[in-house]
Amino acid sequence: MSKIVHTEFISKDSKATADFVEKMFGWQIKKWDDPKGAYYLWNYPGQEMGGGGIGGVNEMSAFNMPHISIYIDVDNIAKALEKAKSLGATQVLGETAIGGGMGYFAIMSIPGGCNIGIWAQNPSK
């Protein structure tokens, strides 16, 4: 069974959003240096992984407006996209490397209009 592995906040001011969730919910915030723009990783206190990210509305974003995205783990992005299309989804963004050894992702629009991301540690073969 696949699980949600990453929740991402894309905002007009990623620093302000990071500061808010840190103070409001007590989440740990760590700045991640990305040449595409300011990006912050968030986790629950005492955990190294399993939270998500906070980024800005810019070229990093698949959609040019504030939103929240979820990413679900799959074994193989290409196979998952193929299956999703057979079930009525459309591809929004194809398999893309995250960088820094953080894996690969893609985004699809599923029946009903929701956009969701899928993630895999390794590239499709």
- Answer yes or no: are the C-beta atoms of 5 and 116 closer than 8 Å: no
Coil, helix or strand at residue 99: coil
CA distances 69 to 26, 63, 81, Å, are 21, 10, 17
d(CA 109, CA 56): 21
Matching residue, tokens 């939270």 = 51
d(CA 115, CA 125): 24
Domain at 74-125: CATH architecture: Roll (3.10)
Residue 90: predicted pLDDT: 95
Q: What is the pLDDT along the chain (125 residues), one digit of tens a residue?
A: 788 888 988 888 888 999 999 998 899 999 987 767 788 999 888 877 668 888 887 655 556 778 888 999 999 999 999 999 999 999 999 999 998 888 999 999 999 888 999 999 999 98
Domain boundaries, the chain: 6-68, 74-125
Residue 95: predicted pLDDT: 97
Residue 63: predicted pLDDT: 63
Which of 31, 24, 25 has its CA nearest to residue 45? 25
Could you tell me which CATH number the domain at 6-68 has?
3.30.1900
d(CA 117, CA 97): 13
